[in-house]
Amino acid sequence: MQAADFFFYLFAALTIVPAIVVVFSRNLLYAAFSLLFTLSGVAALYALMGADFLAITQVLVYIGGILILILFGVMFTQRVYDVRAEAASFNRRRAMLIGIVVFATLWGTARSVPWPVGPPRALAPTTAGIGDLLLSRFLLPFEVVSVLLLVVLIGVVLVGKKEVEE
């Protein structure tokens, strides 16, 4: 049990410290690369909770897909090498206040509500169970999400293509 505690705190620090850099770094590239560590930390926390399939999905989709997209976004829209790719902030004091209020609300709720706790579950592979549930109980959301992805695919091409001069 000691080892699990140690790894929890390690992964929690790996998640939170780069997230602070993501939010407050003035260099947009540093923020994007810190996001890599935050997303890996969340994947490690999933693995620690025994969610093996979800951890791999997180690495594939977030780190392999979304992070690359964000890096493309940064590099297309900022002159990274000429000027300092600066991510100026405004309303910083107000934003800190809002963030503290949000945190107090979330953590106060999480701490004060007696969550119903079940028996501890053994660590076991989850992929087969997730597949069964997706094709039985969650079949309708699964199909709706498939249609949504198709719509997104077409919509992104339409929005992102350059207007052709007449």
Partner 1 sequence: MGVQHYLFVSAVLASLGVIAMVSRRNAVSILMGIELILNAAALNFVAFGRYGRETAATPWLSGQIFGIFTIVLAAAEAAIALAIIIAIYHARANINADELQELRQ
* Contacting partner 1 within 55-74 (CB under 8 A): 57-58, 61-62, 65-66, 69-70, 72-74
* Of the residues 84, 125, 143, 155, which one makes contact with partner 1 according to CB under 8 A: 155
Q: How many residues does the chain have?
A: 166
At its nearest, how many Å lie between partner 1 and the CB of residue 166?
Answer: 16
Place of tokens 């003035």: 26
DSSP 3-state of 150 = helix
**Site size with partner 1, rule: CB under 8 A:** 80
Q: Which two tokens stand for residue 108?
A: 């106060």
CA–CA separation, 71 vs 64, rounded Å?
A: 11
* Contacting partner 1 within 77-136 (CB under 8 A): 77-78, 87-92, 94-96, 98-100, 102-103, 106-107, 110-111, 115-118, 121, 126, 129-130, 133-134
* Contacting partner 1 within 10-29 (CB under 8 A): 12, 15-16, 19-20, 22-23, 28
Neighbour-count burial of 38, counting CB atoms closer than 10 A to its CB (0-12 exposed, 13-18 middle, 19+ buried): buried
